[in-house]
Structure 1
Amino acid sequence: MTVPRPRPRRPQRATGAPTSRGPVWLFDLDNTLHAASRAIFPAINAGMTQYIIDALGVSRDQANHLRTSYTQRYGAALLGLTRHHRIDPHDFLKVVHTFPDLPNMVYAERGLARTLRALPGRKIVLTNAPEAYARAVLAELGIERIFERVIAIEHMRTRSRWRAKPDRAMLRETLRRAGASLADAILIEDTHGHLKRYRQLGIQTVWITGHLPARSPSLRLSGRGRPHYVDHRIRSLKSLQTGLQSGRLRHTG
């Protein structure tokens, strides 16, 4: 199986000091830019469980427990697997994120590209998924060229270990390399645990809930309101522009 060939990459901005003032939008990918829970997440979860069964020789119940517990503890199942087991991380990422039928598995808001282009400032994808998968999804959505860079889990590594959201040191380094400041960053995420941890760094946070399953525990927890670490809660990305206009989100440009 092969991942659909992504479009050619756009040149990346040089690292160093911030290149400009103004919002730097950090978009999560799954359940933020598209509705991953409809088809892709079930397939990824099944693929991870089967990979763990095959690699570690454990039962399906044990494999599911490892997958979910490592995700909760480390932010990504991969991190737990590489720290506690002999797992080839690159093979794991490739196997569980490869979908021959990807075009029929991607669902997104109508007018997504137009909505994103209308936002002022720079736009970056920040995802715990692998780069090949992320770029394939963005290409299917027709929005890859809107983002100046895609920061995937392979780019979050340090010399000694793999990292993932919500690691704080990783985010600081990510923004430094992008020439962006914490004060200018706006994180759009469906995972409230990531928003909570990163809000403590002083960045602005937007919780998008429109792609979450109706029975999501996080939705039941917060009801119709928003947690204290969320600056703006939205169902649709179209509401980001409203957040800027209303002052719920700071626009420093």
Structure 2
Amino acid sequence: MKKPVWLFDLDNTLHNATPHIFPHINRSMREYIERHLGVDEHEATRIRQDYWDRYGATLLGLMRHHGTDPNHFLWETHQFPDLKRMLVFDKPLIQVLRRLPGRKIIFSNAPRHYTEAVLDITGLRGCFDAIYSVENVRFQPKPMLAGFRALLRAERLNPRRCIMIEDTLANLISAKKLGMKTVWVSAGLRQSPFVDLKINSALQLPKRCGRL
């Protein structure tokens, strides 16, 4: 049998973005919306969350309804005073990933400059054969099927050989619809028929991936 191809999300899959990074990004997005749409803090927060709920990414709503330049938005909202200090990462994950058979690809909705910075700081870059950020899929982020298909075409992959590892269920649903195996990184109690394997941490992959 051919070895699998592992597609990994980045934030809250390979590192914990909840304590420091996500609050910083959310604040940066809110401030960007305030500046560029001329609204107050309350309205900017509402717009950010509304577009996230409707489209799976605040950026998509801003592009569709306000003509926002995606490159400018992503650059402005992903600047960090001290990214190294903000990262929460388990170093043993490097050895865990190296033990997994087959190719490994990053598939993140984050911009490339941020994705590469996280991989460099954590030492994870050498674990991956390719990096797909939101720019690489023409700003069609997960859970949009078009983004998944762009990656599959570029890498000439059969989705049935692929295993998607994610913390966001909506993105796994898209992966499953395309025929991929799915791994949900979540400590919650919720279950889903679109999930083949649920784990608390990517550190559990070598022991649990046999179920795939």
Shared fold (TM-score, shorter chain, > 0.5): yes
Please state how far the C-alpha of 1:148 moved relative to its aligned partner.
0.8
Look up the match of 2:126: 145
Taking the TM superposition and a 5 Å limit, the aligned residue runs for 1:56-67 are 56-67=37-48
Alignment length, in residue pairs?
212
Look up the match of 2:174: 197
Q: Displaced runs of 4+ in structure 1, greater than 2 A? A: none
Q: Is 1:54 aligned to 2:35, yes or no?
A: yes
User: Aligned equivalents of 2:98 and 2:142: distance in 1?
Assistant: 25
Query: What secondary structure sits across from 1:68 in the alignment?
Result: helix
User: Aligned equivalents of 1:106 and 1:182: distance in 2?
Assistant: 31
Query: What secondary structure sits across from 1:108 in the alignment?
Result: coil
Per-residue displacement from partner, 1:21-56 (whole Å, max 9, x unpaired)? 321110000000100001000000000000000100
User: Aligned equivalents of 1:175 and 1:241: distance in 2?
Assistant: 24
User: Aligned equivalents of 1:142 and 1:35: distance in 2?
Assistant: 15
Q: Is 1:239 aligned to 2:210, yes or no?
A: no
Opposite residue 142 of structure 1, the aligned amino acid is G
More helix by share: 2
Per-residue displacement from partner, 1:181-225 (whole Å, max 9, x unpaired)? 100110000001111222122111100025xxxxxxxx36x1xxx
Taking the TM superposition and a 5 Å limit, the aligned residue runs for 1:208-247 are 208-210=185-187, 219=188, 222=190, 226-245=191-210
Please state how far the C-alpha of 1:170 moved relative to its aligned partner.
2.1
| Percentage of identical aligned residues | 43
Query: Of the two structures, which has the highest relative contact order with CA contacts closer than 8 Å and spacing of 6 or more?
Result: 1
User: Aligned equivalents of 1:163 and 1:243: distance in 2?
Assistant: 31
User: Aligned equivalents of 1:172 and 1:91: distance in 2?
Assistant: 25
| Structure 1 gap ranges (5+) | 1-19, 211-218
TM-score (norm 2): 0.95
Q: Is 1:127 aligned to 2:108, yes or no?
A: yes
Opposite residue 81 of structure 1, the aligned amino acid is L
| Structure 2 gap ranges (5+) | none
Look up the match of 1:206: 183
Taking the TM superposition and a 5 Å limit, the aligned residue runs for 1:92-107 are 92-107=73-88
Query: What secondary structure sits across from 1:113 in the alignment?
Result: helix
Asked whether the 8 Å contact 2:91–2:122 carries over to 1, the reply is no
Look up the match of 1:117: 98
User: Aligned equivalents of 1:126 and 1:172: distance in 2?
Assistant: 12
User: Aligned equivalents of 1:230 and 1:149: distance in 2?
Assistant: 24
Query: What secondary structure sits across from 2:23 in the alignment?
Result: helix
Opposite residue 143 of structure 2, the aligned amino acid is P
